């Protein structure tokens, strides 16, 4: 980390922002990226939801009942608060601040959760498209605590690696995904890994300069390339950042699924329908 001594200047070496969005809010969850829009540009990153909720006494806010996915993996990360989770593989519990939920849907899985009971809930849920070799593999979920996460300066490595820090999750493709917290005036510079031409950032709280401002609640995408990106915190800031080698396949989209071919999509959706019949028979589905 470096202390801010002078504002960033626009120059040929600055990685330009090419798109910014505040997404579409549905209650406390904002869909910042989805496959038909930025997901096609930023693949393998295909969905990103921002979560920001201040709990109000005597007001119940519904979470998400069990719902299916195939062909993708999800990573849930909370800067603040706690949430509940469950899946069709028998896992159920509470995801606390500083923990990761990694759910590799493979050929099909169902998961869901609620907003817990903490005073403030703030974080992100990311979906990444799986490569052909694993998009129809067996599903699994992992819950990883702070003691098993690595940091390098202000960076907590959620996927991939940065400096000496490496994620305990085996990323399905060349992907880096970091949680970064900077104090006002501090800076962080990212030099992309070889082949990582895709890059984006989303701010949970605070304000960044790159040198253009990125406000809380915004997601920005950077021009493709290998130039470094420098972030300066205009105030205390929490954000997530992703870079990757671009997913080489067209996205084949179902209602809950993302695959590399029509055939794989058909298999994934058939499997989640089958699982859904079992869950309904067990009385675990709403409606």
CATH code at position 215: 2.60.120.10
User: Is 261 part of a structural domain of the chain?
Assistant: yes
Flag whether pLDDT at 12 surpasses 60.
no
User: Is 177 part of a structural domain of the chain?
Assistant: yes
- Mean pLDDT over 104-125 rounds to 87
Task: Take residue 251 and report the two structure tokens written for it.
Answer: 């996205």
Q: Which residue has the tokens 């979906």?
A: 127
- Percent of the chain beyond pLDDT 70? 90
**C-beta of residue 171 within 8 angstroms of C-beta of residue 178:** no
User: Is 66 part of a structural domain of the chain?
Assistant: yes
**C-beta of residue 15 within 8 angstroms of C-beta of residue 229:** yes
Residue 158 pLDDT: 98
**Chain mean pLDDT for the chain:** 90
Total domain count, the chain: 1
**C-beta of residue 82 within 8 angstroms of C-beta of residue 119:** no
pLDDT, tens digit (0-9, with 9 covering 90-100), for 40-79? 999 999 999 999 987 544 455 555 678 899 999 999 999 9
Residue 6 pLDDT: 40
* SS3 per residue for 179-244: EEEECCCEEEEECCCCCCCEEEEEEEECEEECCCEEECCCEEEECCCCCCEEEEECCCEEEEEEEE
Flag whether pLDDT at 5 surpasses 70.
no
Nearest to 203 by CA among 54, 19, 21, 6: 21
Side-chain-side CA neighbours of residue 63 (13 Å): 17
Structural domain boundaries, residue 274: 14-55+62-281
- pLDDT band of residue 237 (cuts 50, 70, 90) is very high
Flag whether pLDDT at 27 surpasses 90.
no
User: Strand order of the sheet with strand 109-114?
Assistant: 64-69, 109-114, 82-87, 92-96
User: Is 240 part of a structural domain of the chain?
Assistant: yes
Per residue in 49-86, is it b (16+ CB within 10 Å) or e — as a string?
A: bbbbbeeeeeeeeeebebebbbbbbbbbbbbbbbbbbb
Residue 58 pLDDT: 47
Flag whether pLDDT at 8 surpasses 50.
no
- pLDDT band of residue 129 (cuts 50, 70, 90) is very high
**What region, left, alpha or beta, does residue 190 occupy, with left being phi > 0 and alpha being psi -120 to 50 degrees?**
beta
Task: Report CA 255 to chain centroid distance, whole Å.
Answer: 19
């Amino acid at each position: 980390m470096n202390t801010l001594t002078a504002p960033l200047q626009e120059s040929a070496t600055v990685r330009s922002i090419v798109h910014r969005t505040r997404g579409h809010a549905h209650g406390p969850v904002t869909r910042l990226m989805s496959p038909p829009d930025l997901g096609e540009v930023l693949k393998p990153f295909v969905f990103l939801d921002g979560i920001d909720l201040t709990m109000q006494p005597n007001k119940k806010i519904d979470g998400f009942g069990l719902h299916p996915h195939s062909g993708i993996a999800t990573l849930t990360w909370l800067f603040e608060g706690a949430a509940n989770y469950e899946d069709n593989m028998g896992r159920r519990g509470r995801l606390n601040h500083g923990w990761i939920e990694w759910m590799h849907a493979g050929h099909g899985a169902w998961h869901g959760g609620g907003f817990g009971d903490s005073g403030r809930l703030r974080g992100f849920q990311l979906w990444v498209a799986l490569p052909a070799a694993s998009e129809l593999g067996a599903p699994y979920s992992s819950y990883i605590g702070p003691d098993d996460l690595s940091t390098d300066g202000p960076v907590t490595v959620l996927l991939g690696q940065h400096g000496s820090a490496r994620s305990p999750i085996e990323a399905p493709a060349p992907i880096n995904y970091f949680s970064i917290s900077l104090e006002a005036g501090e800076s962080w510079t990212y030099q992309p890994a070889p082949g990582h031409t895709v890059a984006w950032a989303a701010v949970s709280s605070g304000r960044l300069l790159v040198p253009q401002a990125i406000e809380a609640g915004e997601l920005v995408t950077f021009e493709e390339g290998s130039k470094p990106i420098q972030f300066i915190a205009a105030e205390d800031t929490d954000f997530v950042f992703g870079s990757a080698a671009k997913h080489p396949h067209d996205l084949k989209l179902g209602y809950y699924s993302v695959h590399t071919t029509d055939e794989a999509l058909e298999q994934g959706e058939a499997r989640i329908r089958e699982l859904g019949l079992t869950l309904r028979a067990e009385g675990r589905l709403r409606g």
